[in-house]
Amino acid sequence: MNKLIYLSVFCQFFFLLSCEEVIDPSVLLKPKPQLLVINGVISPQDKEVKVQVSRSISLVEAINTKGNAKNPIVSNAKVFINEKNKAPVQLNYSNEKSNYIATPEQLKIVAGKQYFLRVEVDNKIYTSSCRIPTNKVDDLQGELKRQNNKNSLSETIKISITDIPKQDNYYVFGALYENNGTAPSFELPSDQFISDKLIDGEKISTNVILVDNLIIDSEVFDDSSLNPKATIQVANVEETLYDSLRISTLNIDNEGDFFIDQAIPPSNIIGENSYGIFAGFQITEREIQLIR
Amino acid sequence: MKTKTIIVSLLLFLSYSVFAQKRTNKKYVISGYITEKSTKETLKGVSVYIKSLSIGGITNNYGFFSIQLPEGIYELSFNYLGYKTITKEVSLSEDMVINESLEESPESLEEVEVIAQNVIKESKSNLMSSVSITQRDIEKTPVLLGEKDAFKTLQLLPGIQGGNEGSSGLFVRGGTPDQNLILLDEATVYNSNHLFGFFSVFNGDAIKSLTAFKGGFPARFGGRLSSVIKIDTKDGNKEKLSGKVNIGLISSSLVLEGPIKKGKTSFIFSGRRTYADLLAKPFQKKEDSEFNYFFHDVNFKIHHIFNDKNKLFWSSYLGQDKFDINFNDSEDEQIVGVDRSKFSWGSLTSTLRWNHEFNNKLFANTSLIYSNYNLDLKVNFRDFTSLEEEKFQNNSGINDYSIKTDFDYFLNTSHHIRFGAIATKHEFTPQRVKGKISSEGININVKQQINSIEAATYVEDEWKLSDKVSAIPGVRLSYFKQNKKTYLNFESRFSTVFRPQTDLAVKLSFSKMNQYVHLLPSTGISLPTDLWVTSTDKIKPQISEQIAVGMVKDFGNSGYSLNIEGYYKKLRQVIAFKEGVSFLGEDIAEGKDINFEDNITFGEGEAYGSEFLFRKQKGKFTGWLGYTLAWSTRQFDELNNGKTFFARYDRRHDISIVGNYKLNKKVTFSANWVLTSGPRFTLPEFRTLRVQNNFPIKSVLLGTVKDENNISRERNNIRGETSHRLDLGVQFHKKLRRNKERIWSFSVYNTYGRKNPYSYYVQARINGSNVLTNTELVRVSAFAVVPSISYTLKF
């Protein structure tokens, strides 16, 4: 009787097991016109103004070339940015950086000002506009902690800010930190992207997981070779940029999860078959030391 | 619009008084109850017909009927599907009470009995866009793993579609599952699924009848946009103790019913439990990790007859899914810590109903209703070495307390008036978090609760204007209050039937519905984590307006009928999560403040299509052919860049062929063949460079850095491959001694192993250096060929 029961259970699991199969993408994904992709994020704190112009490739092509197909960079475009009521400044293409660039001397980005983008490619015109957030975060605090859990090491950076009051803000958090080749990593996308919709002028905190479960040999561990400094970052960004960054990160996080559909990232580029973001932000950075 | 509705209502009432004045004094009332002979279960929908006058009526939900006739001698016939017709001659010179019991017609081959198996003709019904199924239909239909499932049987009817492969979710005329009002003995059931949507919570053995309204909603129903699924459980056998034991592959069930006091008080108990967890236990004993899942449900009902005019029903349902995950942390074969997670969700409903017959024309039912849905997550971590302990509990749920009264007033042969009122207090708990971390001395106890009041009053009249024309005009006034915000809405309902010939009916209906409670789904499939929320000052009620036209043709007494309907439905203020927002996992698990209002966006929807149902309900071979051609779209300013997109389950074509063949008294064959257009998915179509490339803060998740993105420019941009499958079943019946019967049932789900899409995803393969090496499109299919066997003993 037991054998019969076990056989029955085995049969159930066998038949219940879902079946995954790699399929020809062209069965579902029909050909669509190529997109002109324009991305430009500008800030008063940046050393240069950059706009990238490229073309999309179809996912079918990406799959059929096993990921070898690269997005073609458009280097023959004419890219102009102007502050409202001022003359446009043309950005020059840099082969080295694959971007159209203007120096602060050519184009000064000022907090609270509105900027207009105009891109000309193959006799077609693409436009967009953005407004630089008026304020940046003044109160940025952080703690770098290292914890030795018997035979593993974990490091965390806790970041907190005071919300800029009396306006809607969209914050993106991050940290610059290098340790044995590992980079800062958030556990969840919601730890990196926080808006102040529920609060005004209060404290906002987040966690950055740095290195988790690094195996070490003994309980007494000499960490003098590890980096004792990190640079914490917070950017106050336009809502469109916030949504674009958040959705893009979320989509990558959800890749391979068949329960969750892709979210549609926003685009504020106007023009035929275009896609991308032109937006402003203000960033605050601060170096912090390891707390022992 | 509101003024017009009020005027129509006043005219309606005026017409009643005019008709009432026309009555002569020589009219008498025949009233009574119709029951099932062997069990004394009341039968709803029994036709009571007087051929000489071509008039009649049908029994209400509690088997009560009332007909007013002039003095005279009449032949009354009582017809009900699957039961022998009773014909009775009465000499009417005073009010009469006739209580009749109908005997089930044996499903045999003898011609005389086949003729006795009467069919209530579809063209005789004044309702439109409604379908009914009985326990017999549910029992015969071959389904996944042999689990008799009322909702999966419903999915085989046109206009009612399933979600993903194997799911028991219902998508009615382009609506979503939360737009279905599911009433179990009048209690709202918020979670109708077990096992992440693969089985419905309704144990087929306990169901007496199920009626689904897809449109043309009577005014007595409200609160949801797309459908009303009304499920009535059995009252229990009043004559003798009887029951049924069913042993299946994944679950077993028991039904026991009988008299507590013969002819007066009866009970019915039914219970079901899956046992994959028990069977899997021996395999997991020595493992450091253990996974257990099971569900169970219990239905219980007591029916007491105080006297001819007063009856009491108390029915309850409890259903739970439980999922436990246990990890042991071991060192040198010693357990040094444990990590226990318990995830449970389920519903509890309880309804106390009192039937009272004021007189032979006025019947009332008053109900006290409790409905609960609860989702509970408990996590407990203990380290035996450091004695550290972390406890975490998160739950969300709803409690509804309702009082409801419905009246049936049989004014005369032309008017059957229904009126009543309902009031419900909703208690929503979007989340409650309790937590304790001993090492950090943290104790959390946070609870969010939102209360609201929903109420409605209605009146409708089933009005026979002439031999050829009937109508059901009605109005419903609905009220909702949350905090200081109130909503008051008129909902007009109207349906009419024109019968140009015998057996042919042309129907038209209009209905407006408001929905004040909403479900926020975390994913494209039904999960227990989906959050029910209430209307607030920011979240307005969802509204639908539906118009439907149709034609019903019965082909003589052959049992064949053809039903064709077309519909157009406009949805307003429908809600959805903003792009990329969901409450799945992260916010709830982190115990963060959930402000669902700020994460919701509002839009509109449109659904239209046509349905075709060719049915045979009589003879050795019964079944139907159903076809649906449908469109369903949505438009939200904040989704899909403001462009209109197709709804997830916008299935263009849906064909169902269902057949049951009774070979002889011992063997019954059944088969379904289903073909549906694939549902829609959002899949990336382009690869682009990321905006992050020029942004100074990098997004790093799980150690992956990418400078390219796969993107889609349109929501639900891909239609999945067409799904089709053939399910086969055979039942072997054998009569045993002492009136017992045993049934062996064998069935095969998806007989030819079609790999129907459950979902698709794009898989990026990355090597150890974070370099993309390959990208693939993967199809996920579920349930290739699933055979099942079950044993049933009826006693």
Is pLDDT of B24 > 50? Answer: no
pLDDT: is B438 or B329 the higher one? B329
- d(C-alpha B71, C-alpha B52), whole Å: 13
Which helix (DSSP H) or strand (DSSP E) does residue B688 occupy? strand B686-689
Mean pLDDT to the nearest integer, B42-71: 85
Q: Which residues of B touch A275 (CB under 8 A)?
A: 686, 688, 711, 713
C-alpha separations of B613 from B135, B171, B623, B625, B630 in Å: 20, 18, 10, 6, 14
Is the Cβ pair B710, A62 closer than 8 Å? yes
pLDDT for residue B20 is more than 50: no
Going by pLDDT thresholds of 50, 70 and 90, the confidence category of residue A8 is very low
Nearest to B699 among A192, A277, A283 (CB): A192
Helices (H), B464-557: none
- Do the chains contact at A6 and B279, CB–CB below 8 Å? yes
Cα angle B388, B389, B391 (rounded to 5 degrees) comes to 160
Any idea which residue has 């099971």 for tokens?
B294
B386 interfaces chain A, CB cutoff of 8 Å: no
Q: Which residues pair with B469 in a beta bridge?
A: B498
Confidence of residue B23 (pLDDT cuts 50, 70, 90): very low
Within an 8 Å CB–CB cutoff, is residue B331 touching chain A?
no
Of B28, B31, B23, give the one whose Cα is nearest residue B358: B31
Q: What is the mean pLDDT of residues A273-292?
A: 91
B682, B697, B781: residue with CB nearest A262: B682
Q: Measured between alpha carbons, how far is A30 from B209 in angstroms, rounded to an integer?
A: 46
Inspect the interface and report whether the beta carbons of B687 and A252 lie closer than 8 Å: no
Q: Which of A62-71, A78-87, B147-156, B392-401 has the lowest mean pLDDT?
A: A62-71
At residue B280, the pLDDT reads 67
**Given the structure tokens 């039961």, which residue do they identify?**
B83
* Cα radius of gyration (chain A): 24
Over range A79-88, report the average pLDDT: 92
Residues 198 through 257 of chain B touching chain A, CB cutoff 8 Å: 249-250
- pLDDT, tens digit, for every residue of A189-244? 778 888 887 778 888 888 777 765 555 555 555 666 677 888 889 999 999 999 99
pLDDT band at B13 (very low <50, low <70, confident <90, very high): very low
Q: Measured between CB atoms, does A207 come within 8 Å of chain B? A: no
Q: Does residue B162 surpass a pLDDT of 90?
A: no
Q: What is the CB-side half-sphere exposure of residue A188 using CA atoms within 13 A?
A: 15
**pLDDT in the model for residue A124:** 95
For residue A71, the chain B residues in CB contact (below 8 A) are 687-689, 708
Q: Range with the lowest mean pLDDT among B313-317, B445-449, B462-466? A: B445-449
List of chain B residues whose C-beta atoms are within 8 Å of the C-beta of residue A9: 276, 279-280
If contacts are CB pairs under 8 Å, which of residues 704-763 in chain B contact chain A? 704-706, 708-716, 718-721, 755, 758-763
Give CA–CA dist B60/B232, Å, rounded: 13
pLDDT at position B771, please? 63
Closest CB to A248 among B692, B696, B782: B692
The pTM for the full model equals 0.85
Least CB–CB distance from A186: residue in B598, B701, B778: B701
Q: Strand ranges (DSSP E) for chain A?
A: 19-23, 36-42, 49-55, 57-58, 78-83, 89-94, 99-102, 114-121, 124-131, 140-149, 152-162, 170-176, 193-195, 203-215, 229-237, 274-291
CB-facing half-sphere around the CA of B20: CA atoms within 13 A: 11
Q: What chain B residue is nearest to A277 in terms of C-alpha separation?
A: B691
- In terms of Cα–Cα distance, which of B462, B506, B494 is closest to B67? B462
**pLDDT tens, position by position, B635-683:** 999 888 889 999 988 999 999 999 999 888 899 899 999 999 988 988 8
Instruction: State residue A151 phi and psi, 5-degree precision.
Output: -120, 25
At B39 the three-state DSSP class reads coil
Rounded mean pLDDT of chain B?
Answer: 83
B389 or B567, higher pLDDT: B567
Q: Which of B685, B709, B774 sits opposite A66 (nearest CB)?
A: B774
Q: Out of A108-112, B303-307, B401-405, B689-693, pick the least confident.
A: B689-693
Is B681 in the A-facing interface, judged by CB distances under 8 Å?
Answer: yes
A283 in Cβ contact with A45 (< 8 Å): yes
Mutate to test the interface with A, among B690, B754, B771 (most CBs of A within 10 A): B690
Q: Which of A43-57, B166-180, B557-571 has the lowest mean pLDDT?
A: B166-180
State the pLDDT confidence band at B202, using cuts at 50, 70 and 90: confident
Radius of gyration of chain B (CA): 28
- DSSP strand pairing (B600-616 vs B542-554): unpaired
Give the pLDDT score at B379: 82
Task: Please give the angle made by the CA atoms of A47, A132 and A264, to the nearest 5 degrees.
Answer: 100
Q: Highest mean pLDDT: which of A269-283, B247-261, B516-530?
A: A269-283
A22 and chain B: CB distance < 8 Å anywhere?
Answer: yes
The answer to whether residues B738 and B769 touch, using CB atoms and an 8 Å cutoff, is: no
The stretch B15-26 carries a mean pLDDT of: 49
pLDDT single digits (tens) B444-457: 777 778 899 999 99
For residue A21, list chain B residues with Cβ-Cβ distance below 8 A: 755, 778-779, 781
Name the residue in chain B with its Cα closest to that of A34.
Answer: B686
Q: CA-nearest residue of chain B to A60?
A: B685
Task: Residue B708: list chain A partners with CB under 8 A.
Answer: 71
In the predicted model, what is the mean pLDDT of residues B204-229?
A: 91
When pLDDT is averaged across residues B468-493 and rounded to a whole number, the result is 94
Cβ contacts of B704 on chain A, cutoff 8 Å: 252
pLDDT single digits (tens) B93-116: 888 888 888 887 765 433 333 333
Total beta-carbon pairs less than 8 A apart between chain A and chain B? 261
Torsion angle, alpha carbons of B159, B163, B167, B172, to 10: -30
Q: Give the model's confidence band at A109: pLDDT under 50 very low, under 70 low, under 90 confident, else very high.
A: very high
Q: Is A140 at the interface with chain B, CB within 8 A?
A: no
Residue type, A224: S
From B12's Cα to the closest Cα of chain A, the distance in A is: 50
At residue B586 the predicted structure's pLDDT band, cuts being 50, 70 and 90, is very low
Instruction: Kindly state the tokens that stand for B593.
Output: 């403040």
Helical axes A2-16 vs B276-284, angle rounded to 10°: 100
Residues ≥6 apart with Cβ < 8 Å to B536: B450, B482, B483, B485, B597
Do B779 and A233 make contact, defined as CB atoms within 8 angstroms?
A: no
How wide is the angle at C-alpha B617 spanned by C-alphas B613 and B621, nearest 5°? 105
The whole-angstrom distance between A260's CA and the closest CA on chain B is 6
B residues 396-435 closer than 8 Å to A (CB):
none
Report the residue of A28, A49, A275 to disrupt the B interface, i.e. the one with the largest count of B CBs within 10 Å: A28
Paired with B708 in beta bridges are B689
Residues from chain B contacting residue A12 (CB–CB below 8 Å): 145, 249-250, 276
| Cα–Cα distance for residue pair B403/B176, rounded to 1 Å | 27
Contacts of B466 (CB under 8 A, 6+ apart): none
Among A8-17, A163-172, B155-164, whose mean pLDDT is lowest?
A: A8-17
Q: What is the ipTM of this complex?
A: 0.88
Query: At a CB cut-off of 8 Å and minimum separation 6, what does B588 contact?
Result: B377, B394, B396, B431, B529, B594
* A133 has a pLDDT exceeding 90: yes
Residues of chain B in contact with residue A214, where contact means CB-CB under 8 angstroms, are none
In the 3-class helix/strand/coil scheme, how is B577-629 assigned residue by residue?
A: ECCCCCCCCHHHHHCCCCCHHHHEEEEEEEEEEEEEEEEECCCCEEEEEEEEE
Q: How far apart are CA B391 and CA B385, in angstroms?
A: 17
Q: Residue B538 has what DSSP assignment?
A: S
**What is the predicted pLDDT for the residue at B327?**
79
A277 pLDDT band, cuts 50/70/90, is: very high
Note the pLDDT of residue A193.
Answer: 87
**B234-257 tens-digit pLDDT:** 888 888 899 999 998 888 899 999
Could you tell me which chain A residue has the CA closest to the CA of B584?
A260
Compute CA distances B580 → A240, A265, B662, whole Å: 13, 8, 52
